[in-house]
């Protein structure tokens, strides 16, 4: 929590006295009410009122002495990598802007990461014209919490800092603790890699030339460290490479980011040993994982450095990962954030992608002609009457009242027949996620449509200027049903 709470305004302090009182349980009678926590000892109604008044005076005095804190400048830092959860920073509105800049709604659980290095702003960004505004880099990139890899990285970082998860380099030095951890690693490798002989796994794991990065989970009851997975490898310091023999995670902990974090810890350990490359022989099932972790089938390490040092197996693929000394593999999301911000700042100098225009207020104008859309003529589109139609033929109805009335009457007749169909029930109203149980409907369906919305658009009188636009909404309604429910569902 932040060290200080923001000081409420005078009106806020005064309003707290008019909050709805709650029943006080500190007095023996049920008629006394108060708005402060009850005393542990039972008091008479008279004494209770005195305690309430005294505590109210103390609260007012403490409120007056509380230091003022700017709530907008407070940030809650994430302990690892200087990460912070920051609010969206918006630039000041241009004085010559003809349209007010809309407020950006921030999701309650969204957060932004601090880049691993400070990114300088664009030197000569393109200025916005009158009536437009500029998006900040954070607005262009959006919150980092929307990315699954950031969510997993944040979770793993918090688990490490809390001590619930520990990564430890384990070697066969004869100590009891390391032997127990090596035995746990051997059991995980044998269970998760059934094609490997148990004797072969045990021989490599307990080999003194090999070492392992063990993934340990702290038991909440006994506080003991238990093996969840690990990576066993043999370093070759003179040749500047290491060979990964086994890497596995317990099936209970998979698909949670532990595998990526384990590989990052292994890479940092290899860098500490002075290694520049990691090699491994991956079977067909492991190739996608190693590709995701930066391994490639293209071997760049000189043959004389590794041939004869590692074993060649049949039915496997030799893969290589080159280690970069300047890359912090434990904080890759922070590095990616810096790279994306650099690219966004550079784009401001060569493009107008950061400039936002207010858009067209179609409802107040009750529809506009295609040729009236700003910018179409400026970019060289001349065949405006055939825009968006097959073969360039003009299918837009004439805008005289008689033609529009005839089209509206025809579309209303079609829509009425559709709504009266015996299977139209699920499509009559927008999907109620709570009533239907389809809680994720609007996460899956990005452009929802229903018959009531189509009727509202038809009642506007200017929305459906062609049959094609009306038919497109109907087709989208059917396509949404297929996408969410599947072909075998009773609705579709």
Cα distance between residue 361 and residue 14, in whole Å: 43
Rounded to 10°, the helix 198-205/176-192 angle is 150
Nearest Cα to Cα of residue 469 among 404, 392, 401, 389: 389
Helix (H, G, I), strand (E, B) or coil at 68: coil
Q: In which region does residue 225 sit, left (phi positive, over 0), alpha (psi from -120 to 50) or beta (all else)?
A: beta
Cα distance between residue 187 and residue 175, in whole Å: 19
Q: Give φ, ψ of 39 to 5 degrees.
A: -75, 150
Neighbours of 18 (CB within 10 A): 8
Q: Give φ, ψ of 361 to 5 degrees.
A: -85, 85
Tokens (6 digits) for 313: 């197996």
Residues, the chain, total?
Answer: 492
Q: Which segments of 420-466 does DSSP mark as H helices, in order?
A: 433-436, 441-444, 451-460
* Positions marked catalytic: 243
- ∠ CA 15-16-21 to the nearest 5 degrees? 120
Residue with tokens 């957060």: 111
């Amino acid at each position: 929590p932040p060290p200080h709470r923001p000081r409420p305004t005078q009106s806020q302090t005064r309003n707290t006295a008019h909050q709805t009182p709650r029943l006080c349980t500190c007095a023996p009678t049920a008629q006394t009410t108060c708005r402060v926590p009850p005393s542990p000892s039972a008091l008479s109604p008279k004494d209770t009122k005195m305690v309430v008044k005294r505590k109210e005076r103390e609260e007012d005095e403490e409120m007056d002495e509380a230091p003022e804190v700017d709530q907008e400048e407070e940030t809650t830092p994430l302990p690892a990598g200087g990460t912070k959860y920051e609010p969206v920073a918006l630039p000041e509105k241009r004085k010559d802007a003809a349209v007010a800049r809309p407020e950006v709604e921030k999701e309650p659980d969204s957060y932004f990461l601090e880049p691993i290095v400070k990114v300088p702003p664009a030197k000569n960004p393109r200025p916005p014209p009158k009536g437009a505004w500029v998006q900040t880099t954070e607005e262009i990139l959006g919150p980092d919490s929307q990315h699954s890899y950031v969510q997993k990285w944040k979770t793993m970082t918090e688990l490490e800092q809390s001590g619930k998860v520990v990564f430890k380099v384990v070697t066969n030095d004869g100590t009891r603790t390391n032997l127990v951890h090596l035995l746990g690693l051997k059991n995980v490798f044998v269970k998760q890699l059934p094609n490997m002989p148990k004797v072969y796994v045990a021989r490599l794991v307990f080999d003194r030339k090999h070492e392992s990065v063990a993934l340990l989970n702290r038991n909440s009851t006994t506080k003991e460290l238990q093996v969840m997975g690990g990576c066993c490898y043999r370093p070759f310091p003179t040749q500047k490479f290491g060979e990964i023999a086994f890497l596995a995670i317990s099936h209970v902990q998979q698909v949670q980011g532990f595998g990526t974090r384990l590989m990052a810890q292994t890479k940092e350990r290899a860098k500490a040993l002075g290694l520049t490359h990691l090699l491994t022989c991956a079977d067909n099932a492991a190739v996608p994982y190693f590709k995701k972790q930066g391994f490639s089938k293209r071997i760049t390490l000189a043959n004389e450095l590794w041939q004869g040092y590692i074993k060649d197996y049949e039915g496997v693929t030799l893969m290589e990962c080159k280690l970069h000394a300047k890359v912090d593999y434990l904080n890759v999301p922070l590095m990616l954030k810096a790279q994306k911000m650099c690219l966004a700042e550079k784009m401001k100098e060569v493009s107008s992608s950061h400039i936002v225009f207010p858009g067209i207020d179609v409802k107040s104008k009750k529809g506009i002609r295609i040729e009236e859309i700003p910018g179409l003529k400026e970019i060289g589109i001349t065949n405006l009457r055939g825009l968006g139609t097959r073969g360039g033929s003009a299918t837009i109805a004439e805008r005289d009242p008689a033609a529009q009335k005839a089209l509206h009457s025809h579309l209303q007749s079609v829509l009425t027949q559709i709504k009266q169909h015996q299977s139209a029930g699920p499509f009559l109203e927008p999907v109620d996620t709570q009533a239907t149980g389809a809680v994720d409907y609007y996460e899956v369906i990005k452009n929802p449509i229903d018959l009531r919305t189509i009727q509202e658009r038809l009642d506007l009188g200017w929305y459906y200027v062609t049959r094609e636009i009306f038919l497109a909404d109907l087709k989208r309604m059917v396509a949404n049903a297929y996408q969410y429910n599947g072909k075998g569902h009773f609705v579709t």
